[in-house]
Amino acid sequence: MEDLFTLIEKGGVVMYPLLILSILSWILIIERLFNLRTSSFLPKNLKDIKLLLQKGDIEGVHKLTSLGSDPFTTALHTTLDEYLKGVKRKPYLISTMETQLSAVVPQVEKNLMLLSAIASIAPLLGLFGTITGLIKVFSAYSSVQTEEAIKLLSSGISEALTAAATGLIVAIPALFAYWLFRAMGNSIISKIEKEAREIISMLE
Which span out of 56-65, 69-78, 103-112, 182-191 was modeled with the highest average pLDDT?
182-191
pLDDT at residue 1 tops 70: no
Nearest alpha-carbon partner for 61 in 78, 38, 37, 39: 78
pTM: 0.80
pLDDT at residue 2 tops 70: no
pLDDT at residue 183 tops 50: yes
Identify the three-state secondary structure at position 184.
helix
What is the tens place of the pLDDT at every residue in 7-64? 566 656 788 889 899 999 999 999 999 988 888 888 888 888 888 888 888 888 888 8
CA dihedral angle for residue 135, residue 136, residue 140, residue 146, rounded to 10 degrees: 180
Nearest alpha-carbon partner for 43 in 5, 19, 82, 69: 69
pLDDT at residue 152 tops 80: no
**pLDDT for residue 4:** 53
**pLDDT for residue 5:** 57
Nearest alpha-carbon partner for 156 in 183, 187, 128, 133: 133
